[in-house]
Amino acid sequence: MIRIVPSTNRRAVAALLGAGRVRDRETERRAQEIVDAVRAGGDRALRAYAREFDALSGPLEVPRADWEQQARAVSGPVRRSIREAARAILRVSKRQVPAGWRLNVTPGITVEQRVVPLSRVGCYVPAGRYPLPSSLLMNAIPARAAGVGEIVVACSRPDATVFAAALEAGVDRLFRVGGAHAVAAMAYGTASVPRVDKIVGPGNRWVSAAKSLVSADCGIDFYAGPTEILVVASKTPPAWVAADLIAQAEHDPDARAVCIATGRMLAERIARELRGQLPAAGPARESLQRNGGIIVAASLSEAIDLANECASEHLVVESEAIASRITNAGAMFVGPWTAQVAGDYAIGSNHVLPTAGAARVRGGLNAADFVKLISVQRISESGLRRIAPTITTLARAEGLEGHARSIEIRVGTVKSTLRERTISGEGLRKGLRSTRKRSETIGPNPQTPSPKRQTPRPQDLKTSRPQDLKTPRPQRRRR
């Protein structure tokens, strides 16, 4: 039922662990048609697709009064569980919001990091086989913790639990649409659906294709394909390993549930447990047959190397010693009591995670995905003078003369202005001294009678400022 392969069978190992993104050209082509139609046709096209794919019969937007009415039908234990899960997610999300700061790099030079929430985000909530209120919580609560102004949800078939989760998470608007047409509506906006700054949340291949197509015009979180789990086992009870694999496999026939066991005997015991626990109905059996497997590693070190090579969405390991050597994983679950399923609901960490090897470059969705980090820079006159040689030297080394002159025109203008002020000040002081000296030279003698008109001597005129001398007017010749 499930394959057991030795780690020496590189081709089989690569097939199990190398779950790269598979591009379906036909799906992408059809998704492009839907996106283009909604972008051009707005509500008219959106309603047509919603009637075709979502069985929509009423309005696109669900009024808030309907949320409240339907949420009242949810049982007390489920409402309390939603509330407890939301509380844990909120606590973790608040710690994830980046902090603003301001740093004096050198005297006269300051850099500030300003944290600005996005204005509006769209959360896609799948509604295929099962209602997923937990996915709504995982999408919307980090956005709320980050301070996003408006949270919009798209869900094709929301049930009472989804409405209860929307109320708990602080969602602002909810639309009864799904698929590629919902993604297009949120990315470009229609008369009914507002345009958002970013779209987050997992979905099927149509949703993933549409998110990729609109990503040039609207922010997205990341590619989220079929779910994955990788369990590294050396001493974990086989029954527990089997239960974890089945739990992930029941999401979807395309889900990938794999175990790396350190020994053939352990692998066979896990396989027996799988056969005994596997339900008769549901997608888990098909998933494990198509995509599941147990790899027998020669050692724990080899198992860790294979896990890092895989970069799985969910990675389950037995100890802190193993966890310290892991570098690639969307989310890691350490110790036998840290069931991966707990992370789907109540731990508080996000379950929207990168798949298909994308965990090599990023982790899961978090509150930092809902803010912008704006760099604010300030330089004083003295600060610019201090770094001007560094800037102009590097600019000219790169052949960018205009860059260098942008600095030099400032520094040069400052120098010129200061020089003009200095010269003007010195001239004023010289003029004052000259005036005082001339007054003493040509002024009236207190011991002799003062003449009616005192004419300055030629030698005294040399010390006078040019502007103090009046040029005599030329006399007009008489004809």
Query: Residues with catalytic annotation?
Result: 313-314
CA distance readout (Å), 27 to 31, 68, 274: 6, 37, 34
- Taking CA 321 as the corner, what is the angle to CA 316 and CA 327, rounded to the nearest 5 degrees? 65
Beta bridge pairs of residue 175: 61, 154
Give CA 108 to chain center in angstroms. 31
Angle at the Cα of 339 from the Cα atoms of 335 and 345, rounded to 5 degrees:
135
Q: Encode 133-153: b = buried (16+ Cβ within 10 Å), e = exposed.
A: bbbbbbbbbbbbbbebebbbb
The H helix count followed by the E strand count for the chain is 18, 14
Q: How far is CA 469 from CA 152, 290, 441, 462, in A?
A: 81, 105, 16, 10
Those residues whose C-beta lies under 8 Å from the C-beta of residue 67, and which sit 6 or more positions away, are 163, 166, 167, 174
Whole-angstrom CA distances from 439 to 351, 359, 444, 471 are: 92, 88, 9, 20
Given strand 173-175, what is the order of strands in its sheet?
A: 173-175, 150-154, 120-124, 198-200, 219-220
Q: DSSP class of residue 22?
A: P
